[in-house]
Amino acid sequence: MGRLVLAAVMLGAVALMGRAPAVSSWPVNAAPGTRVAGARTPDAAFSRPDRAVILAFDNTSLDDLRGIPTLWRFLQAGAFSVNHHTVLPTRSAPGFAAIASGRYADRTGALDNSFIAGSERASGFTFWETELGNGRPFGLEPPPWAAFNAAGLDVGAVGISPLVLQTDADVRRVAAMTNAAAAPSAYRGVAIYRAGGTREFGSPNVPWLWDQIGGFPGWPLREVEFPLTATALMHEHGIPVTFTYLENLHGNRRPGDYDQVLARHEAAFAAFFARLATAGVTPENTVFAITTDEGDFLAPNGGRSVGARGWLEASRPVGRVRVTGGAAANVYLDDAGDESRVRAAFRTMPGVQAVAWRAGLRAAHMAVADDPSRTPDFTIFGEPDVQFRIGSGTTTGRTAAPLWNHGTLHPDIETVWLGLRGPGIRAGPLDAWTDHTDILTTVQYLLGIARPDLDGRVVTEALTAWVLPDGALDPAVARLGALSKRVNAPLGAFVRHALTVSTRAALAEDTAEGERLDRALAALVDERDRLATEAAMLLRALAGGETTVTATFDALVRALEDLMNQINALARR
């Protein structure tokens, strides 16, 4: 059945039972700003957006957001979701990479805030093209700006990983400094990618930035005025697409600072939106996408500190053990490593919530096929108040209070918010289950850029009817979209069940039983990957204007539902 579905989708609408494709009212691959004649609008004509403003906060909650009234009101006038999700692991580097690229960590290569690449530890906060110690670039697929540039659009980035130079090493390896008077740090944090192929890194290479706001102030980016002013300046100077990082509001601040931080953000956002409007950048011609990379679990009295590496060393596994991470720890063994002893150590290690092992890592999109040296042998997810320490020494203790914890599995960490506003976006609550990869997919769809290579889906539930072709308006399409996310997303139901199975397999005292569970899970992950590919192709075909074909569509839905039943049954055994 699956091969027939895939073949039918690839052959197009004529092969799909002989039915002609519907005429799309929002055609992809048309130039931004195109007037779409015959669109389903009151004026019978509609202009697609010609700009995009993508803002990504760091660890910013709904309560934080409500404390910035100007931003809150702006978002409530568009499609607003509190059912948006991060990726795995729930850390900043994978999150920002997914927001910027529309891909999961197994394809971006941004596996965590730090990971092993070859024989060296690598930082997740690295420029996309920076070469790691194993000779591979940090970003493993075409960079996030490439598709925009191919469509004739310049792209600007402020502070956001991995689109800007992050370190002095990035500066030395990538950027040619043309202003010798500036320190290397001045070339971090700001980048412009021109459609013609030229680039400018750092404010010193962009006179209208350097003259007005100076060099990048560095991370943590507490001065909210800098990223918002730099973003507005880019749009004023004709850069139509921007990605911007904004620092978190609530963490690591002295008592009494929080209200001042909120007031500073309120003033900065009021000035930002007013400045954009003066430059003609408004929700009438620009798509705005605003979210946060991850949430936080608050342990007000401090959390538990577990020395993961020390615990494993005490278990005397054969060979070398390397550990990276925080609330989730990635464990790497060398060729002499004894998996069975490591698995035995996990059974008694305090604070372990789940273990991703072998097929479990593949299910969660944490196995990097294009650079296997990045893929850990195990990832252990801590309980929500646990931080795994990666050094040797004392194995248990307490963290400082309060602890804003993230990186592991908990609703406060995984479930975040998303605001979309602009042409073609309907106002009101957005209830659909979405994750970070869907943001770029939807933004580029609205801009008329077709992307068959992304992991996200077009969030049709957030769009008005007149921007969707006939085939995408059927409510069953939204059902297939939701089902595809349940099956394929790192925090969807399939992966949650897969982590249950993977944990049982990794912690099984009976080695044969653990291997059997892993093989059974691997078979379902293989089927998941195949069906997810078919679902993505069909959803793209429908969004591109092809009509729904009941037999093909229903067969795929049944196969996905059957797969969910199988993984659920395996998890319950």
- What confidence tier does 284 reach under pLDDT thresholds 50, 70, 90? very high
**Percent of the chain topping pLDDT 70:** 88
Residue 208: other Cβ atoms inside 10 A = 12
Residue 418: other Cβ atoms inside 10 A = 27
Say yes or no to pLDDT of 43 above 50. Answer: no
- The residue behind tokens 């069909």 is 538
| Distances in whole angstroms, Cα of residue 148 to Cα of each of 43, 95, 200 | 29, 20, 16
Residue 257: other Cβ atoms inside 10 A = 13
User: Contact at 8 Å (CB) between 363 and 497?
Assistant: no
Please report, for the chain, how many H helices and E strands are present, in that order.
20, 23
Say yes or no to pLDDT of 362 above 90. Answer: yes
Q: Residue 332 phi/psi, 5° resolution?
A: -115, 130
Rounded CA-CA distance 410/495 in Å is 14
Query: How many residues appear in the chain?
Result: 573
- Evaluated on CA atoms 418, 424, 428, 430, the torsion sign reads negative
Rounded CA-CA distance 454/86 in Å is 16
User: Average pLDDT for residues 118-124, to the nearest whole number?
Assistant: 93
Candidates 542, 534, 538; CA nearest to 563 is: 534
Q: In the structure encoding, which two tokens stand for residue 256, read together?
A: 């009494």
Say yes or no to pLDDT of 270 above 50. Answer: yes
User: Average pLDDT for residues 405-414, to the nearest whole number?
Assistant: 96
Candidates 446, 481, 452, 453; CA nearest to 467 is: 446
DSSP 187: G
Strands in 352-357's sheet, in edge-to-edge order, are 321-325, 328-333, 378-382, 352-357
37 or 407: which leads in pLDDT: 407
Q: How many Cα atoms are found within 13 Å in the side-chain-facing hemisphere of 298?
A: 8
Candidates 61, 447, 68, 439; CA nearest to 273 is: 68
CB contact burial 196-205 (16+ within 10 A = b; e otherwise)? eeeebbbbbb
Q: In the structure encoding, which two tokens stand for residue 518, read together?
A: 């892993």
- What confidence tier does 549 reach under pLDDT thresholds 50, 70, 90? low
Say yes or no to pLDDT of 294 above 60. Answer: yes
| pLDDT value of position 392 | 67
Q: Residue 429 phi/psi, 5° resolution?
A: -60, 140
| pLDDT value of position 344 | 93
User: Contact at 8 Å (CB) between 141 and 108?
Assistant: yes
Q: Residue 386 phi/psi, 5° resolution?
A: -105, 140
User: Average pLDDT for residues 170-195, to the nearest whole number?
Assistant: 81
- What confidence tier does 338 reach under pLDDT thresholds 50, 70, 90? confident
| pLDDT value of position 534 | 93
User: Contact at 8 Å (CB) between 291 and 71?
Assistant: no
| pLDDT value of position 16 | 28
268 or 249: which leads in pLDDT: 268
Tens-place pLDDT, residues 186-210: 889 999 999 999 999 999 999 999 9
Say yes or no to pLDDT of 182 above 60. Answer: yes
- What confidence tier does 476 reach under pLDDT thresholds 50, 70, 90? confident
Say yes or no to pLDDT of 158 above 50. Answer: yes
Q: Which of 88-97, 179-188, 549-558 has the lowest mean pLDDT?
A: 179-188
**Helix 550-572 vs helix 493-507: crossing angle, to nearest 10:** 30
| pLDDT value of position 394 | 65
Q: In the structure encoding, which two tokens stand for residue 271, read together?
A: 């000035």
User: Contact at 8 Å (CB) between 55 and 290?
Assistant: yes
| pLDDT value of position 252 | 56
- What confidence tier does 407 reach under pLDDT thresholds 50, 70, 90? very high
Q: Which of 35-44, 101-110, 320-329, 552-561 has the lowest mean pLDDT?
A: 35-44
Q: Which of 273-287, 493-507, 552-566 has the lowest mean pLDDT?
A: 552-566
**Percent of the chain topping pLDDT 90:** 71
Maximum distance among all alpha carbons in the chain?
Answer: 73
Say yes or no to pLDDT of 10 above 50. Answer: no
The enclosing H or E element of 418 equals strand 415-421
The phi-psi region of residue 304 (left if phi > 0; otherwise alpha if psi is between -120 and 50; otherwise beta) is beta
Cis peptide bond upstream of 89, omega within 30: yes
User: Average pLDDT for residues 237-250, to the nearest whole number?
Assistant: 95
User: Average pLDDT for residues 399-415, to the nearest whole number?
Assistant: 94
Q: How far is CA 115 from the centre of its chain?
A: 17
Tens-place pLDDT, residues 372-404: 999 999 999 999 999 998 876 667 888 888 899
DSSP 26: S
Candidates 154, 183, 160; CA nearest to 171 is: 183
User: Average pLDDT for residues 292-312, to the nearest whole number?
Assistant: 93
User: Contact at 8 Å (CB) between 144 and 167?
Assistant: no
> Pairing between strand 45-47 and 35-37?
antiparallel
Cis peptide bond upstream of 402, omega within 30: yes
Please state, rounded to an integer, the average pLDDT across all residues of the chain: 88
- Evaluated on CA atoms 109, 115, 119, 125, the torsion sign reads positive
Rounded CA-CA distance 510/530 in Å is 31
Rounded CA-CA distance 445/254 in Å is 43
The CA radius of gyration of the chain, in Å to the nearest whole number, is 24
